[in-house]
Amino acid sequence: MSLADLTHVAVLAAITEFDRVGREEFLRSTGFGRSRSYYLQYRGRLYDSKAISGYAHGASTGVPLGSADFSGGDKTVAQRLGDLGFDVRYLPNPDWTRDEIILACALVEANGWRQLDRADLRVKELSELLQTSAIHPLGERGPDFRNPAGVGRKTADVATSHPLYHGKKTNGNRLDREVLDDFIARPTEMHDLAKAIRTALATDENLTTGPDPDLPDPTADEGGVLLRQHLRRERDPKIRKAKIADAKLRGLVIACEICGFDFAKTYGARGIDYIECHHRTPLHVTGPTKTKLEDLALICSNCHRMIHRTKPWLTVEDLRSIVRRGREKP
């Protein structure tokens, strides 16, 4: 018995049966588990590639294959289905970001540091929130992405990492423990942060659009929902235009409020009114609020990046002091 016996028609038959009975029943009746990474994509839907192949072998030869009869992966199932003209996608569940773990930890803390079951309404609500496109793009996820079972499991990772837990621990990671330690050490700050992240996810789905030169490496930042929202708001042309107009009315030169760099003086006409706009206070501190002109500072690109380069962010005054001390050195 071999995957070479699969035919295009037999795979279509497996897809038809999958659609007829539904995913859960198809997997139960064929004895296969859920795919972890590889999915057959057909007419906009995703199918567990190994289970489809096992059923299709039966449709081709009369002898279906079980899960233990063959291995899945790019050199076996994916390659054979591809040879038959089907599209197989590699869609492993992405690692949980720091932002996501903060929200899961907030649930555990509110539940007396006990894990929550997949059937819990709070778990289901968080699952739906994380399934928006605000953190992970829609096209880069499998059908089990952040489902209630996965969210429930993450709450177990957090709960069993608590210092007062003495039972068997789950396979959590370093980031789970770091977030947990932050909640224990700074509960009020972390509650406010969780609330701000939740608000951002519920109201803004434009936070994953392309790489951002002001963001650190994504793996190092481990999330950055609020930073992305903060930077996107700073780049709102209406806010920047209003701040520049206000500065001119008060007779101020359009130059960096930190280092004094004047784009027009250096670049001539090309640099007139070129400046960046910075929110003095991070959104996770202010929460959802209407931006006031006094909340903004006009600064050059270099100073702006220096402010956002490390956490916690520097204030305008902090960076101005650094620049002044640097200029005073012989």
Count of CA atoms in the C-beta half-sphere (13 A) of 21: 13
Domain boundaries, the chain: 3-90, 98-218, 235-328
Residue with the two structure tokens 């591809």: 82
Count of CA atoms in the C-beta half-sphere (13 A) of 112: 0
Give residue 239's pLDDT.
Answer: 86
Give residue 159's pLDDT.
Answer: 97
Give residue 53's pLDDT.
Answer: 97
- Please give the distance of CA 135 from its chain centroid, rounded to a whole number: 3
User: Which pairing describes strands 87-90 and 45-48: parallel, antiparallel, or unpaired?
Assistant: unpaired
Q: Give the pair of three-digit tokens for residue 82.
A: 């591809």
Contact criterion met (CB below 8 Å) for 279 and 233: yes
* Number of CB atoms found within 10 A of residue 311's CB: 10
Taken in order 300, 301, 306, 310, the sign of the CA dihedral is positive
Average pLDDT for the chain: 88
Residue with the two structure tokens 């005073």: 328
Task: Assess whether pLDDT exceeds 50 at residue 163.
Answer: yes
Task: Assess whether pLDDT exceeds 90 at residue 145.
Answer: yes
Give residue 220's pLDDT.
Answer: 35
Mean pLDDT score, 188-201: 89
Task: Assess whether pLDDT exceeds 80 at residue 209.
Answer: no
3-state secondary structure of 42: strand
Among the listed residues 218, 199, 198, 219, the one whose alpha carbon sits nearest the alpha carbon of residue 208: 218
Taken in order 163, 169, 174, 178, the sign of the CA dihedral is negative
Mean pLDDT score, 204-216: 50
Q: Which residues contact 260 (CB under 8 A, 6 or more apart)?
A: none
Mean pLDDT score, 243-248: 94
Query: For the stretch 51-69, what's the b/e string if a residue is b when 16 or more beta carbons lie within 10 angstroms of its beta carbon?
Result: bbbbbbbebbeeebbeeee
Query: For the stretch 218-245, what's the b/e string if a residue is b when 16 or more beta carbons lie within 10 angstroms of its beta carbon?
Result: eeeebbbbbbbbbbeebeeeebbeebbe
Q: Give the pair of three-digit tokens for residue 78.
A: 């994916």
Contact criterion met (CB below 8 Å) for 123 and 117: yes
CA–CA separation, 9 and 59 (whole Å)? 9
Residue with the two structure tokens 């009746």: 29
| Segment of 71-75, 180-184, 310-314 carrying the highest mean pLDDT | 180-184
Task: Assess whether pLDDT exceeds 70 at residue 249.
Answer: yes
Give residue 205's pLDDT.
Answer: 52
Q: How confident is the model at residue 135 (pLDDT cuts 50, 70, 90)?
A: confident
What distance separates the 2 farthest-apart alpha carbons in the chain? 86
Vertex 210, ends 259 and 214: CA angle to 5°? 20
> Bigger pLDDT: 284 or 301?
301
* Number of CB atoms found within 10 A of residue 292's CB: 7
- Please give the distance of CA 138 from its chain centroid, rounded to a whole number: 11
* Per-residue pLDDT tens over the stretch 68-95: 999 888 889 999 999 999 999 999 989 9
Task: Assess whether pLDDT exceeds 80 at residue 137.
Answer: no
Based on the number of CB atoms within 10 Å of its own CB, is 159 exposed (0-12), middle (13-18) or buried (19 or more)? buried
Q: What percent of the chain has pLDDT over 90?
A: 70
Task: Assess whether pLDDT exceeds 80 at residue 125.
Answer: yes
Task: Assess whether pLDDT exceeds 90 at residue 224.
Answer: no
Give residue 222's pLDDT.
Answer: 41
Give residue 17's pLDDT.
Answer: 98
Q: Give the pair of three-digit tokens for residue 215.
A: 């963001």
Q: Which residues contact 288 (CB under 8 A, 6 or more apart)?
A: 199, 203
pTM of the entire structure? Answer: 0.71
